[in-house]
Structure 1
Amino acid sequence: MRYCSLGSGSRGNATVVESGQTRVLVDCGFSLRTTEQRLAQVGLSARQLSAIVVTHEHADHVKGVERLARRYQLPVYMTHGTRHALRDFEAPVQLVRLDEGFTVGELEVEPVAVPHDAREPCQYIFDNGQYRFGILTDTGTITPWIIERYRELDGLFLEANYDPHMLATGPYPPSLRARVAGDLGHLSNQQAAGLLQAIDRSALRHVAIAHISEKNNRPDLALTELDNALTGWAGQLHLAEQNQGLPWQDITGESQPLFAHIGSR
């Protein structure tokens, strides 16, 4: 199993999870043309995708979903609440139940309910029978349910959206600061670090920091916070960026060179 990011941040998000010939695109917050270009940069054509799974209806996650799905006849999975929020969405949709997993090719997909200011948001865990890879972004707080579901993973794509001091002193108006830092907002560096300390890391080989705010965080702050939480851990810590994304990372073996990396401790 391997994964890559086509870009992660408030200007667009898309992640590819691959097992064998199955390739699932998680969200598509870029235009159709940009998505095609970014897929090409990681050696893929949209025709090689098996499906698109959607976490929630915010534009930075769904901007290109409809056009991509219609052009390449891709099945789209999303919750009923997300589908209801996307009133003008015209591509066929497979409805996701939060209490029920589903199968896409070689991957079992487990939706996980998360607190976020969307209609019925969820995140996803992918299982190919040998390895488990979790995606957790756009989450306001770490709940006991999240800790339970993400407790045993081989790889984790984890939001560290903001630094509290930078958010408090940054350019956002008070209402937007409150939204970001609220229980239905995003995860801070410290909250992301707290999750890593709460889960079983014995099988965890890869952690990728994702959805970093360009105005309320810095990569070095997020990397340092999470690295400190991973003291004694022998895995690899990566950084998914807005423009460059993150190249293919094989959670079963060697990974390609990283944009940012703190080596094994």
Structure 2
Amino acid sequence: MRFCSLGSGSGGNATLVEASQGITTTRVLVDAGFSERELTKRLARAGCTPTDLDALFITHEHGDHVGRALAFAQRHRIPLITSRGTWRAIAQDGFDTTLLRLVRSGDTLALGDLALRPFSVPHDALEPLQLCLDDGAARLGLVTDLGCAPDAVADALRGCQALLLECNHDEAMLRAGPYPPMLQRRILGTHGHLSNAAAADLLARCRGAALGTVVAAHLSEKNNSPTLAREALAGVLGGGPDDIRVADPALGFGWLAVR
């Protein structure tokens, strides 16, 4: 299994996951927060076309995650997987619901070479889900857009070999920054976004012996820095900041193996 990010910030989010058993390959796009044209361009940079996708999983309805996902899925006949709450928020007349698969937290969805295991997170959306993906040999955890991390979230991520983890903001930078008080309160709230310190706490609670790759993601360009995110997570792992990869908010990152 391997994964790459097509973008990880307020301008748009999408993560591509690929697994292969030799003669078969399965590709899942998690979120699609771009225009159809831009998403196609970004997929091409990863060596993929829309018709290569076996499913599109939408975590929640915010624009930087859903983008033009419905039109994209319908145009290319890609199965769309999401929660019932997210579907209520994004549903459009004319969408071919034969492409739709509704899932709940705790489900296990078999999809080719992958098993998808969605789990609930606290966020200001109708029914947000984040995701673990398993190819039978390794597990990848994707968790962004959550204001706090209860034990159920840590439990869902335990046993991962690779983890894409939200490090949205440094709290001191956010409080001293340009955002108005109401927006600061939303971000800092239990249904907002994880700070570097909160991400480090979650990492400490879900970290297992098998965890080898950690990527800090969804960094605010105004209220965080790659250096601060790396330092927070590296302190948990007991290594140096260079051991932590950081997803570029605009460009994401290239392919990483999960093993």
Shorter-chain TM-score bucket reads: over 0.9
Post-superposition offset of 1:48: 0.7
The CA distance in 1 between the partners of 2:116 and 2:203, in whole Å, is: 22
The CA distance in 1 between the partners of 2:96 and 2:160, in whole Å, is: 32
| SS at structure 2 position matched to 1:225 | helix
**Aligned residue for 1:8?**
8
Which letter maps to 1:231?
Answer: G
Post-superposition offset of 1:181: 0.6
Post-superposition offset of 1:232: 4.8
Residue 104 (structure 1) aligned with residue 111 (structure 2):
yes
**Aligned residue for 1:184?**
191
The CA distance in 1 between the partners of 2:105 and 2:257, in whole Å, is: 28
The CA distance in 1 between the partners of 2:239 and 2:246, in whole Å, is: 19
The CA distance in 2 between the partners of 1:71 and 1:199, in whole Å, is: 39
Which letter maps to 1:145?
Answer: A
Unaligned regions of 5+ residues in structure 2, if any? none
The CA distance in 2 between the partners of 1:172 and 1:232, in whole Å, is: 33
Residue 80 (structure 1) aligned with residue 87 (structure 2):
no
Q: 1:24 aligns with which of 21, 25, 28?
A: 28
Contact 1:35 1:64 in 2 (8 A): no
The count of aligned residue pairs is: 251
Contact 1:54 1:62 in 2 (8 A): yes
| SS at structure 2 position matched to 1:228 | helix
Q: 1:37 aligns with which of 28, 37, 41?
A: 41
Residue 66 (structure 1) aligned with residue 73 (structure 2):
no
**Aligned residue for 2:159?**
152
Post-superposition offset of 1:201: 2.6
The CA distance in 1 between the partners of 2:83 and 2:206, in whole Å, is: 26
Q: Deviations over 1:2-57 (max 9, x none)?
A: 00000000110000111011000000001111111111111111111110001000
Equivalent runs, 1:88-127 vs 2, <5 Å: 88=92, 90-92=95-97, 93-127=100-134
The CA distance in 1 between the partners of 2:88 and 2:251, in whole Å, is: 32
The CA distance in 2 between the partners of 1:4 and 1:40, in whole Å, is: 12
The CA distance in 2 between the partners of 1:154 and 1:99, in whole Å, is: 20
**Aligned residue for 1:49?**
53
**Aligned residue for 1:257?**
none
- Report % sequence identity: 43
TM-score (normalised: structure 2): 0.94
Contact 1:69 1:91 in 2 (8 A): no
Unaligned regions of 5+ residues in structure 1, if any? 253-265
| SS at structure 1 position matched to 2:12 | coil
The CA distance in 2 between the partners of 1:226 and 1:210, in whole Å, is: 12
The CA distance in 2 between the partners of 1:5 and 1:13, in whole Å, is: 8
